[in-house]
Amino acid sequence: MRANAIAMLVGAYGLAMVLGALFFQYVVGVAPCEVCFWQRIPHLGAAVVGFCGAALFAKNVVNERCMMGIAALTLVLAAVAGGLGVYHSGVEWRIWAGPEACTGDRFVFTGTLDLDTPPVVRCDVVSWRFFGIFSLANLNAIFSLGIAALGALFLVRRDLAKKILAALRR
């Protein structure tokens, strides 16, 4: 598989993840915590780098060697998003502590009742599960690390990608 195709696919994946997060936030009503927002940043980066890199390659601004670096960068960004998903999953399972801003007891007594302050969304409480098992952080970790590993394999072993694609066409 060519580097520009890998960069474009990983960029499309990053964009799909951000759009999916926005869907869950605004349509389903799952309020994101601080770490949820952190996970969106590398996905957005992968989308921008992947699409811009592929566009520059199509216009012959960058060569194949440069495109390999751009594709590798999109894969690193996907892996970073997956790593943040692993971190968030560990916070949800209480394997390690999360950021103080969104874990633990969040009641702060100020002496007055302030109803205008929005509630803090806790990072250590799962607000939605897929099939009652996987949280959104778990799914982000699995899919992001998976696409990063698969993309890296296809980037290094182009012959393997050709064999798999030929088998799928049959």
Q: Which token pair is 17?
A: 């993840």
Asked if residue 29 has pLDDT above 70, the reply is yes
Residue 39 one-letter amino acid? Q
Q: Which token pair is 15?
A: 């964009």
Q: What is the CATH number of the domain that holds 145?
A: 1.20.1550
Of the listed ranges 1-15, 36-50, 58-72, 97-111, the least confidently predicted one is 97-111
Q: What mean pLDDT is reported for the chain?
A: 86
| Cβ 30 vs Cβ 136: under 8 Å | yes
Domain holding 160, by residue range, is 3-113+122-169
User: How many CA atoms within 13 Å lie on the side-chain side of 68?
Assistant: 8
pLDDT digits (tens, 9 = 90+) for 98-153: 777 666 655 555 556 556 655 666 667 777 667 777 788 899 999 999 999 999 99
Number of domains in the chain: 1
Decide which of 170 and 150 is more confident. 150
Mean pLDDT, rounded, for 9-29: 94
Of the listed ranges 22-36, 53-67, 151-165, the least confidently predicted one is 151-165
What span, in angstroms and rounded, lies between the C-alpha atoms of 167 and 170? 5
